[in-house]
Amino acid sequence: MAAQFPRREHTGTPPRRQAGASAAPRRRADEAPERRREPSPARRDPETRRAADAPRDTSWEGAAAWYDTHQGEKGDDFYSVLILPAVERLLGSKRGHHVLDVACGQGVLGRHLAKQGVRTTGVDASPTLLAKASERAGALETYVTGDARQLDQSLAGQRFDAAALVLALQDLDPIAPVLAGVSAHLKPGARVVMVMTHPCFRIPRRAGWAYDETDGVQYRRIGGYLSPSAAPVRIHPGMPADTGSTTTFHRPLSVYLNACGAAGLGVVACEELCSHRRGTKGPRYGAEDLAMKEIPLFIALAAVRL
């Protein structure tokens, strides 16, 4: 399925971190953690690009030191409270299993799984983040530099008991070779878990919080969903002098499901994760609290290699 990515300028805060302001003049507290990006190819129809095309570099290598300071050894509270427990539940990995961690960054997932006796191999495009991962790695962790779209070049025919793509798939384009590569390196019946900011509710430049004064309801305003798009985002939105940017990609949920099917991955489970964070208390706190409990921030999909 071909998907066009029209250019949408986005010079404000990164999507899925602050995807729109609340009507209430209060600090938003449910936004997703910053994420590093892998190289992305030159933008045209993603299904008709050729391997010889010059890649569009959307890596966070230039911000790796800052990102590592932000996420550190264990990740932020989104990781500890929501993401890592969901990945662990959906993977179902046991002691002695070997998990492939695609776009592993500084190895937050690998260190978490090592505590359960699970071995991991992490692949990432950022040498600096991989160096941080290796510095903290225990005996069960291995990290290699590689492009998520060309996993064969990094993994040399290895087969894994499970795989994970945590807050990475929306920063990769095209996704067909990523999922095909993951599928090729999984044992038959093995699972892959994919965590994303929810594409139905967190859409760069097209979604945000709003408040209905008449009914006293806070809700998510959606100004577009089905059309794929690519949005340039600032790496450091709070630093005007720093113009570093990368790119994130919106796709409707159906694109991810169909891409899994095309790669021989059958979706068998899904969890939708609501934010545990809340803003400062005020007259609309009750409406905000209800909205946070009903509108998920993340989605986690588990698929099995058929």
- At residue 206, the pLDDT reads 95
Chain Cα centroid distance, residue 156: 25
What would the pLDDT profile of 243-258 be if each residue is shown by its tens digit?
777 789 999 999 999 9
Residue type, 85: P
CA dihedral 41, 142, 98, 105 (to 10 degrees): -40
Biggest CA pair distance of the chain:
61
Examine the pLDDT at 228 and tell me if it is beyond 50.
yes
Average pLDDT value for residue range 45-70: 53
Provide mean pLDDT across the span 269-276. Answer: 98
Residue-wise pLDDT tens digits, 201-210:
999 999 999 9
Across residues 222-236, what is the average pLDDT? 89
Instruction: Write the CA distances from 164 to 8, 83, 108, 117, 192, integer angstroms.
Output: 29, 11, 12, 16, 5
The phi and psi torsions of 40 (rounded to 5 degrees) equal -125, 140
Cα gap 170→190, rounded to integer Å: 22
The pLDDT value recorded for residue 195 is 98
How long, in residues, is the chain?
306
Percent of the chain with pLDDT over 70: 77
CATH of domain 40-44+53-200+253-283+297-305: 3.40.50.150
pLDDT at 80: 94
pLDDT grade for 292, boundaries at 50, 70 and 90: very high
pTM for the whole structure: 0.81
Q: What's the rounded Cα separation, in Å, for the pair 152 and 46?
A: 20
